[in-house]
Amino acid sequence: MKNGGAGGVEKLGWIGAVLLDNENPTAQSWVNKYGSSNLSYLKDLGIAYNAVTQLGGEFTGGKYENLLKNKPRKTLNDDDLGLGFK
C-alpha cells in the first residue's frame, strides 16, 4: 500500500495514517479484506452496528428497581389468586 498520492496521508487525517501504516499488520489486513470486498465490509458493518447498539437494549444502571420500572416488588407471599391470604 502506497502512502503517497494526491495529498498523501495528511489529506486522510489520523485514520488514514493508522490504516496506511506499514508497521501495523492488523490495519493492513483490514484494508486488504475490506478493500477487496464491499460485501464483506457491509456484512461486518451490520454485525458490528448491532453489537454496539445491543438491538434495543436499555441501560438501567444495574439497579433492580429500574428493571421493574417502579412496579411493586413481588414477594413469596404474593400469589395473585385473590384468595385473601397474606
Rg for the chain (alpha carbons), in Å? 26
- One-letter amino acid identity for 20? L
Q: pLDDT tens string for the chain (86 positions)?
A: 444 455 666 788 888 888 888 899 999 998 999 999 999 999 999 988 888 887 666 666 666 666 677 777 666 666 666 665 55
3-class SS at 3?
coil
Return the pLDDT at 1.
Answer: 46
Return the pLDDT at 53.
Answer: 80
Q: How far is CA 52 from CA 14, 31, 49, 85, in A?
A: 23, 22, 5, 47
The grid cell for 52 is 454496539
Q: How far, in Å, CA of 84 to CA of 30, rounded? A: 66
pTM for this prediction? 0.46
